[in-house]
Amino acid sequence: MNERERRHTLRDLRAMKREGRPIVCLTAYDASFARILDVAGVDLVLVGDSLGMVVQGHDTTVPVRLEDMIYHTRCVARGVTRALLCADLPFATYGTPDQALESAARLMREGGAQMVKLEASLNQAEIVRHLSDQGVPVCAHLGLRPQSVHKLGGYRRQGSDEASAAQMIEDAGSLVRHGADLLLVECVPGRLAAEIRANVDVPVIGIGAGPDCDGQILVLYDVLGVSAGGLPPFARSFLPGTESIQEAVSAYVQAVRQGRFPPKD
């Protein structure tokens, strides 16, 4: 099996960070789209709780259940042979270390996930440690955390002032020290994402966080221009000018690999 065909691991993503090779990530929610992403060369496929909005039609991700995530992760796992497979822990399924471990174990055992993602701050550091100690790979999601949309008062850019930026840098460092293997930063200023990236030794994946991250992720439906309510300002449809969904996903992969997406400020 050659390098392109081999299943990606965390070691591969860490090597890509060290070598300055952009990590390409996308969401998927079923086997057919997962297969398209895999063929296109996506490095990490995320079964996001964004399915609550783009698949189930909810206004937020809050209604998504653990059973929904297990079902969709199991579907995606059948279409992926190369990319690392990560799945979200949905709202209110990781309030304590033991609850988080049980939820993560189900996503891995029943869904086939290789990593779980949780929306995190300093308050979740001990949960991250507990998962890591039990052998669960963890991606910690900082910045705009959609499960907290009602607490935040909407989908707003985070870390724009000096105090909140400093807190996020501290949170990122603590989460990594407690065992986070990957960080995802959403809707933060590019300079803040770049500083977080420079201060941790794990890959930092951005969404709406500028070009200076170790990798990029978007919701697949945004890449295809079919998201209800229109594209978020940081996203782009790659379908125009291509002949197929496969070509559109491949165009996204190449744009990230070549540093053309997201564009420089």
Identify the CATH number of the domain in which residue 128 sits: 3.20.20.60
- To the nearest whole number, what is the mean pLDDT of the chain? 96
pTM value is: 0.97
The tens digit of pLDDT for each residue in 208-239 reads 999 999 999 999 999 999 987 889 999 999 99
The tens digit of pLDDT for each residue in 129-159 reads 999 999 999 999 999 999 999 988 888 899 9
The burial class, CB within 10 Å (0-12 / 13-18 / 19+), for 164 is middle
Instruction: With respect to residue 265, please indicate whether it lies within any of the assigned structural domains.
Output: no
* Backbone φ, ψ for residue 94 (5° rounding): -145, 40
Instruction: With respect to residue 4, please indicate whether it lies within any of the assigned structural domains.
Output: no
Q: 């949309």: which residue's tokens? A: 149
From the candidates 186, 195, 243, 247, give the one annotated as an active-site residue: 186
H-helix segments, the chain: 10-19, 31-40, 51-54, 66-77, 97-109, 125-133, 149-152, 162-177, 190-199, 220-223, 245-257
The tens digit of pLDDT for each residue in 169-191 reads 999 999 999 999 999 999 999 99
Please report which confidence band the pLDDT of residue 264 belongs to, taking 50, 70 and 90 as the band edges.
Answer: confident
- pLDDT given at position 34: 98
Tell me the HSE value of 140 on the side-chain side, using a 13 A CA sphere. 31
Q: How many residues does the chain have?
A: 265
CA–CA separation, 121 vs 1, rounded Å? Answer: 40
Query: Which residues, 6 or more positions from 263, have their beta carbon under 8 angstroms from its beta carbon?
Result: 211
Instruction: With respect to residue 105, please indicate whether it lies within any of the assigned structural domains.
Output: yes
Number of domains in the chain: 1
The burial class, CB within 10 Å (0-12 / 13-18 / 19+), for 264 is exposed
SS3 49: coil
Q: Provide the residue range defining the domain that includes 71.
A: 10-257
* Backbone φ, ψ for residue 44 (5° rounding): -135, 125
- pLDDT given at position 4: 58
Q: What is the mean pLDDT of residues 46-66?
A: 97
CA–CA separation, 192 vs 53, rounded Å? Answer: 28
Percent of the chain with pLDDT over 70: 98
Query: 186: which strand partners?
Result: 143, 207
3 noted as active-site residue? no
Instruction: With respect to residue 142, please indicate whether it lies within any of the assigned structural domains.
Output: yes
